[in-house]
Amino acid sequence: MKIALIRGDGIGIDVADAAMAVLEATLQKTGQPKPELDEIHAGAAYFQETGQDIEADGEERAEAADAIFLGAIGLPSIRHADGTEISPHLRLRDRFGLYAGVRPVKAYPNAPQRLADPRAAEIDLIILRESTEGLFYSAAAHKRSLVVNDDEVQDILRITRKTTTKLHRFAFDLARKRQNKGFQGRLTCVDKANVFTSLAFFRQIFDEVKTDYPDVLIGYNYVDAQALDLVRKPWDFDVLVTENMFGDILSDLAGGLVGGMGMAACAEIGDHTGLFQPAHGSAPDIMGQDKANPLAAILSGALMLDYLAEKLGNPHLSDAADLINQAVDDGFRNNRLRPIEFGGDMGTRAITKAITDTVSESRQIAAQ
C-alpha cells in the first residue's frame, strides 16, 4: 500500500505526522503492514523556495500511489501576482477528477456543541461537495474567467452532465450505504435551481439518476434555506449533495456546529484516485507550537483506510478505519481527548498519543 504524502504548509506538517502515526499504529494492531510513504514536497513554502508549487514529478508520483494524503496547503503571506493563494491541490482535484468531496459532520460526546437543543448531540451527516466544477472551475486549476480587467471580473460556474451524473450516483450509493448501516439514508439535493440555469440542470440530472434508486428517500433544498436549516434542525439531514462552492461554505458551517474545523475530515474521490485531508487551513500562527487539533487529519486517515479497503479488496483496512473512529468516539466519551482548540489542555502530540494508546488497548484481534 503506497501513500503519496504531502505535508504542505503550516500545521499541515504537524497534523499529517499525527495522522500517519495513528495510521501505522492501527495497521499494526490489525495485523497489516505499514504503508509505503512517498513524500512529495508542495505548497506555498515550497513555491517561495523554488518558484514551483509542487515537485517536478510530484503529480505523476501522486497518481502512481494508491491514495494521496495532504496536510494543508497555503500561506496567506505568499500569493500569486493576482492575489490568489498557492493551491496545487486544486489542480490535483482537476487532474485526477476528484469529483466527490465527502465531508462528514459528527457530534462527539463532551465536544463543544454550538446549539442548545439536546438533539445537537445526534448530529451525524455527510455533505457531498462536487469538487472539480461549479464556481471553483474558475479557480487556480484553470484561471478561466469571462472577463478580467481593471473594471470587471466575471468567473465561470460550470456544471457538466458527465461529472454531475457521477456525483449523483455516488450520492445515491452513499445514502443507500448509510441506510443499510441504520442511518436515515435520506439524500437532499441542495442547489439554487430557482435562479440559475446551471443549478436547474444540476437538479434535473439528480431527478434523472433518482429513477435508478427507488429505495432511497430524497429531498430538495435551496442553498440559502439549507444554511438556515443546518442551524435550526441539522439532525433532520443525512446526506446533502451540492455544487462546489455551496459545499465549501455549508461544510464549514456544519463543522462549526460540532466543535470546529479541527474536526472537519475530508475525502476527495474520483474514478481511480482518492485524496484525503483535513478541511481546515494551514494556520501558520500556531505551526510547530503543539497547539493544532489533529483529529480532522486522523479522521481523514480513517476515511482513507475505508477507501483503500474497497480499492485494494482488503476488508481488514476497513476494520482499521473502524478502530480509529471508535478510538476518537471513546476518547471524547471518556474525556481522554481535550483539544486546546476546545479550551482543553491537550496539544497535537498529547491527542495523537491518546488515540494511539486507545488503539493499542483495543481488544480487536489482529487479522491473520
Q: Where are the domains of the chain?
A: 1-98+262-368, 113-257
Return the closest-CA partner of residue 142 out of 106, 95, 74, 107.
95
- Taking each continuous run of H as one helix and of E as one strand, the counts in the chain are 11, 12
Q: According to the model, what pLDDT value does residue 41 have? A: 97
Return the percent helix, strand and coil in the chain, to nearest 5: 45, 20, 35
Written out in words, the top-level CATH class of the domain with range 1-98+262-368 is alpha beta
Q: Note the pLDDT of residue 272.
A: 95
pLDDT at res. 368:
40
pLDDT at 346: 97
pTM to 2 decimal places:
0.93
Q: Which residues of 33-71 are buried (b: 16+ CB within 10 A; e: fewer)?
A: eebebbebbbbbbbbeeeeebbbeebbebbeebbbbbbb
C-alpha–C-alpha distance, residues 79 and 101, integer Å: 25
Same CATH fold assignment for domains 1-98+262-368 and 113-257: yes
Alpha carbon distance 294, 195 (integer Å): 40
Total residue count of the chain as it appears in this document: 368
* Assigned architecture for domain 113-257: 3-Layer(aba) Sandwich (3.40)
Provide the residue-wise pLDDT of the chain in tens; the chain has 368 residues.
Answer: 999 999 999 999 999 999 999 999 999 999 999 999 999 999 999 999 999 999 999 999 999 999 999 999 999 999 888 788 888 988 899 999 999 999 999 999 999 888 999 999 999 999 999 999 999 887 744 566 666 677 888 888 999 999 999 999 999 999 999 999 999 999 999 999 999 999 999 999 999 999 999 999 999 999 999 999 999 999 999 999 999 999 999 999 999 999 889 999 999 999 999 999 999 999 999 999 999 999 999 999 999 999 999 999 999 999 999 999 999 999 999 999 999 999 999 999 999 999 999 998 887 554 44
Closest CA to 148 of 91, 205, 82, 201: 82
Number of Cβ within a 10 Å radius of residue 221: 18
pLDDT of residue 201: 98
Given this model, what pLDDT does residue 145 score? Answer: 64
Give how far Cα 17 sits from Cα of 185, 288, 348, 349, Å: 34, 11, 10, 10
In the numeric block, which cell numbers belong to residue 241?
A: 449533495
Q: Is 229 exposed, middle or buried (0-12, 13-18, 19+ CB in 10 A)?
A: middle
